[in-house]
Amino acid sequence: MAQYLILVSRMNKILLLVFLASLFFVPSRVLEDRDTAAVFNQVLASFRTGSSKELAKHFEPSILLNLNGQNGNYSKTQAEFILKDFFRKNPPKDFSILHKGGNGNASLYYVGTYLSENSQFRVLIKGNPKDDGFRIFSMEILQMNSYSTTRLRD
């Protein structure tokens, strides 16, 4: 009986150590998720206000941009100017996220709707969680009437 109690005591100590060790990993993941959400809220605000400058702060140094079928791999600065022109021609009325997903910690994507005075656009934003929150590496903005004939790419 004494050996059984010693064994149970040792197992409890091991379980306690495993539990305490796991606590060190949980807060960092929670903070990372919170940082990603905070940065993405800034991305949402940038779309709602039509601020290409604020949006570009969250781009990778190079970004794949598809604006109504005009595809290209652009520098952060080039993409900012292209989006500035887009927002000038299509001033924002509203922006909302319809769906978000991802494959673990590797990448995230958001599908949304951008409304301007005259048009509605489907927006696909792809990015990676980073130490400072979220970095966009790909963005597609497709006008809804052309959306039915144009497929969003992976």
Q: What is the CATH number of the domain that holds 119?
A: 3.10.450.50
Report phi then psi at 103, rounded to 5. -120, 80
Average pLDDT score over residue span 116-142? 89
DSSP letters of 27-81? HHHHHHHHHHHHHHHHHHHHHHHT-HHHHHTTEEEEEEEEETTEEEEEEHHHHHH
Would you state the structure tokens that stand for residue 99, as one six-digit string?
């769906």
Evaluate whether residue 28 is within a structural domain.
Answer: no
Q: What is the pLDDT of residues 141-151, one digit of tens each?
A: 999 874 444 44
Evaluate whether residue 22 is within a structural domain.
Answer: no
Residue 26 above 90 pLDDT? no
* Residue 11 confidence (pLDDT): 59
* Residue 101 confidence (pLDDT): 86
Length of the chain equals 154
Percent of all residues in the chain with a pLDDT value above 70, rounded to a whole number: 68
- Confidence label for 40 from pLDDT (cuts 50, 70 and 90): confident
- Please name the helix (run of DSSP H) or strand (run of DSSP E) that holds residue 10, with its range, or none: helix 2-49
* Residue 5 confidence (pLDDT): 53
When divided into structural domains, the chain yields a total of: 1
Evaluate whether residue 16 is within a structural domain.
Answer: no
Evaluate whether residue 148 is within a structural domain.
Answer: no
Q: What is the pLDDT of residues 2-12, one digit of tens each?
A: 565 565 566 55
Sheet hosting strand 133-143, strand order edge to edge: 70-75, 59-67, 133-143, 120-130, 108-116, 92-102
pTM of the model: 0.70
Evaluate whether residue 130 is within a structural domain.
Answer: yes
Nearest to 58 by CA among 145, 2, 133, 123: 133
Q: Which amino acid does the sequence have at 126?
A: K
CA distance 124 to 138: 8
Mean pLDDT of the chain: 78
Sign of CA dihedral 47, 86, 148, 107: negative
Q: What is the pLDDT of residues 70-80, one digit of tens each?
A: 999 999 999 99
**Higher per-residue confidence, 119 vs 10:** 119
> Helix or strand or coil: residue 88?
helix
**Higher per-residue confidence, 101 vs 143:** 143
CA distance 72 to 121: 18
Residue 65 above 90 pLDDT? yes
Domain that holds residue 132: 34-143
